[in-house]
Structure 1
């Protein structure tokens, strides 16, 4: 494997692009200082990038900056990137390691929408959830996991725009108590649905950011309470956090 770019000019072209992405508009002299290259070399490379449409020069200041062409390329890449293609192998692995059903959700306003389900066939009890169905964020593990990555104003808006109902005797309907749960999620790294949405079912959930590092997705391990003792939750939460780390490392 090459340890050095075999085409030096390509190395320098991309170095300019990466530097401009960090600095914003700069003069030729400033860019040369950042790159530690002479002016004639940098100017020639800039001219090439301007010709290809990746860099522009401001008329009044003469400063160089990136054009939107790179953004257009990244948008085309993202349009072809299916989050499920990325997470599916890890969710299958998680279900295999735990022997439990795994769900993957996407946030839509005050709800989470199930967009993938990996059913466990190691146990006879099946989860009734279906891909495409919705679950409120305020009373679910995946919801609290996502909410923990929001700021205080966003959390308050989420609560105020939700139809707060006591779905089970365990459902949290007090905002102050909800905030305490969110703080617990931030400390532990995972959320717990302790029969808050459905009696007899406990879930462990962790959030997954989108490509902009914004809270949008989450996955959970769901099982009947008979298989979800506090000690097993501790065991499964470690596995869930390891899987989260693996997924996030592939999305960087």
Structure 2
């Protein structure tokens, strides 16, 4: 597989889209600095994206921003994901029963992508995660939950190709330690994120296989450490394992 995009202009067009998604409405000069491209090149790219309907320019401020066309594509993608129709009622029930935020993710390469979030309104603290954002497998509860259902060769491949970084003082950065955690998950049936991705947040997660039995999905409960003591984790583990059983039974 080539590491370089064979169509350079496509690479730049998507770079503009991704940058605008990060910056929000931005003047041309600022966008040029973000992209490290000259003004004429960026202007041509923007003109093409405006023509296709993916970018718009504010007539008063002159700033460029993404249009809602990408959101329309995203909604169409989500509408084809039957799995969400299956899991949604169970995840709502889980959030209501525990009073915590619940996430549902899908495996995508080296990451898990949030495809559903059930926010708890019983607590004042909100999780910053968003549907569509990504989280590495090596430092997340959902990632370890899915990895526990993989062959070790696949686990090793994911580890070797992931940009392993110590995101917090608790992030595991040695493969042998990671494997030990995976073995714990295989024994207990659930995985933990002990402030490995974000300080102050603990998660408990379980995997959900696709219709062929492959590790493809996972869901988790996330909460501040003050509400996620070891005792509470033990209580929640029984609940999430029961919900997993209910979901997998409804997927057959």
- TM-score, normalised by the number of residues in structure 1: 0.68
Gaps of 5+ in 1: 1-78
Computed over aligned residues only, the root mean square deviation of the Cα atoms, in angstroms, reads 1.1
3-state DSSP of counterpart to 2:248: helix
Larger radius of gyration: 1
Match of 2:119 in 1: 119
3-state DSSP of counterpart to 1:155: helix
Displacement of 1:229 in angstroms is 0.3
Residues paired across the two proteins, number: 174
- Give the Cα–Cα distance (whole angstroms) in 1 for the partners of residues 127 and 250 of structure 2: 29
Match of 2:157 in 1: 157
3-state DSSP of counterpart to 1:124: coil
Match of 1:144 in 2: 144
Match of 2:194 in 1: 194
- Give the Cα–Cα distance (whole angstroms) in 2 for the partners of residues 152 and 198 of structure 1: 26
Match of 1:85 in 2: 85
Indicate how the Cα distance of structure 1 residues 139 and 81 shifts in structure 2: closer, same or farther if over 3 A, else same.
Answer: closer
Match of 2:227 in 1: 227
- Give the Cα–Cα distance (whole angstroms) in 1 for the partners of residues 152 and 112 of structure 2: 19
Match of 1:29 in 2: none
Displacement of 1:125 in angstroms is 0.5
Note the 1:3-42 alignment, pairs <5 A.
none
Indicate how the Cα distance of structure 1 residues 80 and 226 shifts in structure 2: closer, same or farther if over 3 A, else same.
Answer: closer
Match of 2:218 in 1: 218
Indicate how the Cα distance of structure 1 residues 251 and 163 shifts in structure 2: closer, same or farther if over 3 A, else same.
Answer: same
Matched, 1:99 2:113: no
Displacement of 1:81 in angstroms is 6.0
- Give the Cα–Cα distance (whole angstroms) in 2 for the partners of residues 148 and 138 of structure 1: 11
Match of 1:134 in 2: 134
Displacement of 1:80 in angstroms is 6.1
Match of 2:181 in 1: 181
Indicate how the Cα distance of structure 1 residues 166 and 80 shifts in structure 2: closer, same or farther if over 3 A, else same.
Answer: closer
Indicate how the Cα distance of structure 1 residues 81 and 163 shifts in structure 2: closer, same or farther if over 3 A, else same.
Answer: closer
